[in-house]
Amino acid sequence: MSNYQLYINGKWTESTNKERFFTKNPATREILATFPKGTKEDTLKAILAAEEAFPKWKMTPAPKRGEILLRVASIMRKRKEELGQTVTKEMGKIIAEGEGDVQEAIDFIEYIAGEGRRLLGETTPSELPNKFCMTIRQPIGIVGCITPWNFPIAIPCWKLGAALISGNTVVFKPATLTPLCAAKLVEIFEEAGLPSGVLNFVTGSGSVVGQEIVENPRIKTISFTGGVSTGVDIYNKASKLLKSVHLELGGKNPQIIMDDADLDLAIEGVLFGAFGSAGQRCTATSRLIIHKKVYDLVVKKLLKQMKSMKIGNPLNPETDMGPVADENQEKKILKYIEIGKNEGAKLLYGGQKLRDNFIEPTIFEAKHGMRITKEEIFGPVLAILEVKDYEEAIRVANDTKYGLSSSIYTQNIHLAFRAIQDLEVGITYINAPTIGAEVHLPFGGIKNTGNGGREAGTSAIEEFTEIKTVFIDFSGVLQKAQIQEQ
């Protein structure tokens, strides 16, 4: 077992607090490492280090910043197997998904490093002669990155990579469930040659470390992925300082199966979408909306497939689903299973705790409007609903406070393109599950899923840069835009 420290101004350093917390394997309950319960003072030191490092990092040519990120990706690629095992041991997702988490991080870091040779502005004609107009992107300053536990390597890399290539310095607080993954990631940035103070790492509670990040005026923007209530609290507090805040929050994602769909493909998709990572993805398929003409057949086929799912040790390559992340997740999910039963939803499969942190994949036959069809459970619980036609499917799919991901299975190109237009979400898949985002495309949603920004893809740098408009007048005389000369 390792005892980690904080990483501030290029050095691993002790906290001002002697108290520590531990991270453990949810499958075995083995303690993996301990970490300091960071304090306000620790966080302030990290902020001051980031502030001191910012001017030099900002002036480092963006292609040179990209070279450091490419070294990060190269190191991660060499250690992919080791890092994937760490993800699986600390978070609980099966080993293929653990390594997939790392591969997503590698892909994004390599992608975003290329922005070091772009960071595109725009040029446009002036309304006046002998005058040139353009925009440039500049870093915002110190960024606070607060990340979740369900993608403990990939999501930090989404935020850190985009913030750093843009020329910002960072104070990074990982989820208290997965600090070991985050610490190993910071070690890689250090090994890759990131200058001191550019990335600072503080572990601890949201109420102490997170609050200082949110409320300290030196931090200019906040990037947060997590629960809705926490996101709203961060937004309210940061907005009082007019900070830029980017939020990626929850989802209640529908998969629609139309009567002309390839049913076997659709069922394969929902199994992966609903029970991959034990349903602990913001993009997880939590509602399966089925056309009445194929409803009975889909349910029959789905239940048959469920019987072959292997639940157990996530390090075993044969395992299909591992544990949920911790005891609190277990309690929440089991509570929702009881809510579903009490609401009158018909339990078709699962619903039982197998052992500590292991819950059977669960399927309910539900009515639209039940809590299990409206609220994010964030676990291996799927609600299936019958609809009479496409219009009802879309109405049911959209009737939620979330708007992240969606899916429709159909062979009808007209319905496919209508769904792209009609589904009220940030992401739509045609004949594929609700999970599986690719790093070169924007990721995010609408409604209570977030506040409109996007991570990854061509939008990645937008939350971490300010646009400056530049006018260059080489006429040699005073020209007055919009004012006509007499």
Q: What is the pTM of this model?
A: 0.95
Residues 391 and 463 in one domain: no
Residue with tokens 């925009």: 135
In a domain, 443, yes or no: no
Look up the CATH number of the domain holding residue 18. Answer: 3.40.605.10
Q: How does residue 1 score in pLDDT terms, banded at 50, 70 and 90?
A: confident
In a domain, 42, yes or no: yes
Domain count, the chain: 2
Q: How does residue 452 score in pLDDT terms, banded at 50, 70 and 90?
A: confident
Residues 281-311 pLDDT 10s:
999 999 999 999 999 999 999 999 999 999 9
Q: How does residue 349 score in pLDDT terms, banded at 50, 70 and 90?
A: very high
Contacts 24+ apart (CB under 8 A), 71-79: 71/192, 71/193, 72/109, 72/188, 72/189, 72/192, 72/194, 73/106, 73/109, 73/110, 73/113, 75/188, 75/191, 75/192, 76/102, 76/105, 76/106, 76/109, 76/188, 77/106, 79/188
CA distance 289 to 293: 12
Residues 152-178 pLDDT 10s:
999 999 999 999 999 999 999 999 999
- Decide the pairing of beta strands 6-8 and 11-13: antiparallel
Please report, as a single letter, which amino acid is at residue 319: T
Output DSSP code: residue 195. P
Look up the CATH number of the domain holding residue 287. Answer: 3.40.309.10
Helix (H) or strand (E) holding 104: helix 95-113
CA distance 17 to 441: 41
Q: Is residue 361 predicted with pLDDT exceeding 90? A: yes
In a domain, 456, yes or no: yes
Looking from the CA of 377 toward its CB, the CA atoms found within 13 Å total: 34
Q: Is residue 485 predicted with pLDDT exceeding 90? A: no
Of the chain, the percentage scoring pLDDT greater than 70 comes to 100
Q: Which residues pair with 470 in a beta bridge?
A: 134
Residues 193 and 262 in one domain: no
The per-residue pLDDT of the chain, averaged, comes to 97
Range(s) of the domain holding residue 379: 253-430
Residues 341 and 323 in one domain: yes
CA distance 211 to 371: 31
3-state DSSP assignment of residue 151: coil
pLDDT of residue 306: 96
Nearest to 102 by CA among 182, 163, 173, 34: 182
Residues 178 and 261 in one domain: no
Q: Which two tokens stand for residue 143?
A: 């960024």
In a domain, 339, yes or no: yes
Residues 42-59 pLDDT 10s:
999 999 999 999 999 999
Please report, as a single letter, which amino acid is at residue 95: I
Residues 326 and 363 in one domain: yes
CA distance 429 to 219: 37
pLDDT of residue 486: 58
Task: Give the count of beta carbons closer than 10 Å to the beta carbon of residue 222.
Answer: 24
Residues 214-271 pLDDT 10s:
999 999 999 999 999 999 999 999 999 999 999 999 999 999 999 999 999 999 999 9
pLDDT of residue 484: 74
Please report, as a single letter, which amino acid is at residue 480: K
Q: Which two tokens stand for residue 100?
A: 């997939």
Residues 264 and 243 in one domain: no
Output DSSP code: residue 194. P
| Angle, CA 81 vertex, CA 71 and CA 176 arms, to 5° | 85
Q: Which residues are catalytic?
A: 248, 282
Residues 2-19 pLDDT 10s:
999 999 999 999 999 999
Q: Is residue 482 predicted with pLDDT exceeding 90? A: no
pLDDT of residue 439: 96
In a domain, 475, yes or no: no
Q: How does residue 83 score in pLDDT terms, banded at 50, 70 and 90?
A: very high
Residue 324, Cβ density class (10 Å: 0-12 exposed, 13-18 middle, ≥19 buried): buried
Q: Which two tokens stand for residue 219?
A: 């931090």
Residue with tokens 């985050």: 182
pLDDT of residue 228: 95
Residues 397 and 417 in one domain: yes
In a domain, 406, yes or no: yes
Give just the sign of the alpha carbon dihedral 470, 474, 479, 482: negative
CA distance 114 to 118: 7
Q: Which residues pair with 139 in a beta bridge?
A: 465
In a domain, 480, yes or no: no
Residues 402 and 279 in one domain: yes
Nearest to 343 by CA among 310, 365, 313, 316: 365
In a domain, 200, yes or no: yes
Residues 60 and 102 in one domain: yes
Residues 271 and 385 in one domain: yes
3-state DSSP assignment of residue 325: coil
Residues 317 and 418 in one domain: yes
pLDDT of residue 483: 85
Residues 126-141 pLDDT 10s:
999 999 999 999 999 9
Q: Which residues pair with 224 in a beta bridge?
A: 146, 247
Q: Which two tokens stand for residue 412?
A: 């009808």
CA distance 410 to 262: 7
Of the chain, the percentage scoring pLDDT greater than 90 comes to 98
Cβ neighbours for 83, distance < 8 A, ≥ 6 positions apart: 76, 99, 102, 153, 181, 184
Looking from the CA of 357 toward its CB, the CA atoms found within 13 Å total: 24
Task: Give the count of beta carbons closer than 10 Å to the beta carbon of residue 169.
Answer: 28
* Phi, then psi, of 287 in degrees rounded to 5: -135, 130
Residues 87 and 114 in one domain: yes
